[in-house]
Structure 1
Amino acid sequence: MEFKKINYIDRKTGNVLVENVPGEKFLKFLYYNPFGKLPLELLVKRKFLSALYGKKMDSPSSCKLIPDFVKEHNINMEESIKSIDEFQSFNDFFTRKLKPNSRAIQREKGVLASPADGKVFVLENINKDTHFFVKGEKFTLEDFFRNKSFAKKYDNGIMFIIRLAPVDYHRFHFPASGLISKSKVIDGAYYSVSTHAIRTNFRIFCENKRSFSILFTDQFKDICIAEIGATMVGGIKQTYIPYTYVEKGDEKGYFFFGGSTVILLLEKQSFKIDKDLLENSKKGIETKVYMGERLGISQIARGDDF
C-alpha cells in the first residue's frame, strides 16, 4: 500500500489541510516497510513499551518537554486551567482540563455532540461500509465486542470514529444525556491508531486494548461509547460513576500520553448524520471536530424538540 500524507477538512472553513503527525517517519517504517513488521510485532505493540513510556511521561523531569511541544503544535494554552509552569509532568499537561465554556456544547435535545476533539470519520452502515472502505479486512462487531448480543444490537448501525492526535485535548465526554453503564475492558495490543496504521489494518480496532460502556438514552436508543488504547498510551482513565444519570458534555474520562480514539456506535435507523461529515467520509477524508460539536440528529424523537 502506498504511503500518503493525512489530509483532513477543517469543518469551520471547509479547507483541506495536511496533518502534522509526530513520529510520522517512524510510523511509515513500521506500517509500510516490510522490515518494520518485526519490531512492530515484537516490541512496539506490546504493553510494556507503552507502560514504560507512560511512566516516563509521569516523571517531573518530563515537564521540560512541554514548552517545545506547545510551540511546535501551536496549542492554545489560553483554554487551559493551568499555565505551562504549573504542570507537574508531561502527562499532567497532556490530560489538562479546559476552562469552562472553552467548548460550545450543542445542548439541544435530539442533537448528538462529539465526545472529544479530533478528526471524525463515519460509517453509515457498519456492515456494508467496512467492506467498501476497507477492502480485504475482516472487521466484525463480534470481534470488536467479543459478545454476540452486542454485535447483533449494533448490526447495520452507524459508527463514528473520532481520532485524537497527540496534540489534541485528551479528555472525552458524554455525547448525550442518559444512564451510563459500567465500563467493560477488553485486553489487547497497542498498535498505533493513526490513520497511517488504520489504512493498513482496520482490524486494529478489534485487536487493541479497549473499553466500552452503554449510554441508555431516550433520544438515540442505546449508544455504545468505546475508547481504544494505542502505542504510547499509558492508560485509559474513566472518571464517571457507573449507573448514574449523566448530562451531555459531562466528562467521562481521559487518555494518558499518546494518540487515541473514541468510537460511537448507534443502532440502525436511529440517527441522521450531518451531511458534511457523511459526504467527507464517503470521499475517504476525515473532518476536524471539537468536543460538543454537532454530529447529527435523532430519527426517533420528532416534534417540538426539532
Structure 2
Amino acid sequence: MIKYYDRKAKTYNIEKVAGDSYLNWTYSSPIGMFLLEKLIKKKIFSKFYGYYCNTKLSKGKIKKFIDDFNIDTSQFKDNPEAYNCFNDFFYRKLKENARPIDKVSNSLISPGDGRLTAFTNIDLKNLIQIKGITYSLYDFIKNDDVSKKYADGTCLILRLCPTDYHRFHFLDSGFCDVSKKINGAYYSVNPIALKKVNNLFCENKREWSLFHSDNFGDVLYVEVGATCVGSIIQTYSPNKKISKGEEKGYFKFGGSTIVLFFESNAVSIDKDILEQSSLGFETKVNMGETIGNNL
C-alpha cells in the first residue's frame, strides 16, 4: 500500500498501482526475485515489451487502462481513439491549458506530474532512496566534479507512476547542456522495489544534464528509466535558449523518476512538501505547479 499526500485537498490518498500484484510477487517472492535478476531487469525484456507497446496489437489496452485508473481524457490533446498503439497514448500530449505554468520568475515549478519528495542539506555520499536505503551522487552520475557542486544542496525526487502524464519539462528559463547517458538495469522505481534493491537509482538506466537556469543556478537534471521503459527521449535542443515550462523530453512505457539537484542556498521548497517528506510521504504535484521559490 502506497499512501501519498494530496496538497490541494490536504488529505492522504492510497495510490492505485498499475500491476500491483505483479510487483508484489516479483519483489517479494524467491521465484519472482530470481526471474527479476535473470530476465526482468535486463534490457531485452524492456525492449521486447516496448516493441509490443509500439504495435497496433497493444491498442486494445488503452481503453481498459483509462477505465481502470479513471484517467481524465478531457485533458488529452488527441482523442484516445486516435492513438495507434499503447505508447502513443502513454506519452500523450495534453491540451495547452491542461497544465497552467506559474510564470513568475522566482517561482519554482514541478517539471512533471508525479509524487514528489524533497531533501535539504544533502550529504552527497548518503542520499536517501527510501527509508534506511541510501545512495551516492558520485555513483549516480559518475562525475565527481559535477557532484561536488551540490554539497549541502537540495534534492527533489519526482516519481512518475504509469498512470501519469509522461512528458517532462524545464522548471525555469535558461540553457541546457547535452544529455549524458549511463547504461544500466531496468528495475521498477515503485517504492515496493526501492525497498528491496539497494542503490536502485545507481543501477538503472539513466540520463543527466546540467541546466543553467536563469533563476536557480546550475540544476542537475537526471531522468531514471525503469522496467519496460524502452527509451528516455530528449526533445529539447542543447545549448539553445529555453523558456520556462518548455518540454525537455518524455518516457516511453513504464514508471519512471526525475531527480533534481540544486546548489546550496539556491532554492526554498514549499513547507508542506518538506513536512510530508520528513514524515515519509510523497506529495502529488502536476507539471507547472509551484513547489518553491529562489532565495
**TM score, norm. by length of structure 1:** 0.93
Residue from 281, 288, 293 that aligns with 1:292: 288
Provide the residue aligned with 1:34 in structure 2: 30
Structure 1 contact 118–168 (Cα < 8 Å) conserved:
yes
For 1:291 and 1:19, the matched residues in 2 are separated by 19
For 1:143 and 1:96, the matched residues in 2 are separated by 32
How far has the Cα of 1:97 moved from its partner? 0.6
After superposition, where does 1:79-98 map in structure 2 within 5 Å? 79-98=75-94
Provide the residue aligned with 1:272 in structure 2: 268
Unaligned runs of 5+ in 1: 300-306
SS in 2 for 1:126: coil
How far has the Cα of 1:269 moved from its partner? 1.6
Q: Which amino acid in 1 is paired with 2:3? A: N
For 1:272 and 1:199, the matched residues in 2 are separated by 28
For 2:287 and 2:128, the matched residues in 1 are separated by 29
1:225 aligns with 2:247: no
CA RMSD of aligned residues (A): 1.5
What percent identity do the matched residue pairs reach? 43
Residue from 143, 160, 166 that aligns with 2:162: 166
1:13 aligns with 2:23: no
How far has the Cα of 1:280 moved from its partner? 0.1
SS in 1 for 2:241: strand
Structure 1 contact 115–292 (Cα < 8 Å) conserved:
yes
Provide the residue aligned with 2:179 in structure 1: 183
Deviation sequence 1:131-182 (CA, Å, 0-9, x none): 69642x4511110011110111112221111111100001000011111111
Provide the residue aligned with 1:22 in structure 2: 18
1:157 aligns with 2:153: yes
How far has the Cα of 1:15 moved from its partner? 1.0
Q: Which amino acid in 2 is paired with 1:213? A: S
SS in 2 for 1:268: coil
Structure 2 contact 217–263 (Cα < 8 Å) conserved:
yes
Structure 1 contact 134–202 (Cα < 8 Å) conserved:
no
After superposition, where does 1:197-236 map in structure 2 within 5 Å? 197-201=193-197, 203-236=199-232
Provide the residue aligned with 2:68 in structure 1: 72
Q: Which amino acid in 2 is paired with 1:83? A: N
41-50 vs 28-37, which deviates more? 28-37
Residue from 86, 106, 110 that aligns with 1:110: 106
Greater than 3 Å deviation, 4+ residue runs: 128-134
SS in 2 for 1:122: strand
Q: Which amino acid in 2 is paired with 1:284? A: G
Residue from 194, 217, 232 that aligns with 2:190: 194
Residue from 249, 253, 265 that aligns with 1:253: 249
Residue from 106, 127, 130 that aligns with 1:130: 127
Q: How many aligned residue pairs are there?
A: 294
Q: Which amino acid in 2 is paired with 1:39? A: L
Q: Which amino acid in 1 is paired with 2:206? A: R
Structure 2 contact 76–95 (Cα < 8 Å) conserved:
yes
126-135 vs 40-49, which deviates more? 126-135
1:144 aligns with 2:140: yes
Change (3 A) 1:60 1:190: same
SS in 2 for 1:154: coil
Structure 2 contact 46–230 (Cα < 8 Å) conserved:
yes
Q: Which amino acid in 2 is paired with 1:126? A: I
Provide the residue aligned with 1:240 in structure 2: 236
SS in 2 for 1:247: coil
Q: Which amino acid in 2 is paired with 1:285? A: F
For 1:138 and 1:118, the matched residues in 2 are separated by 21
For 2:165 and 2:155, the matched residues in 1 are separated by 22
For 1:202 and 1:120, the matched residues in 2 are separated by 20
Q: Which amino acid in 1 is paired with 2:39? A: L
SS in 2 for 1:105: coil
Provide the residue aligned with 1:304 in structure 2: none
For 2:185 and 2:264, the matched residues in 1 are separated by 29
Unaligned runs of 5+ in 2: none
Residue from 259, 262, 271 that aligns with 2:258: 262
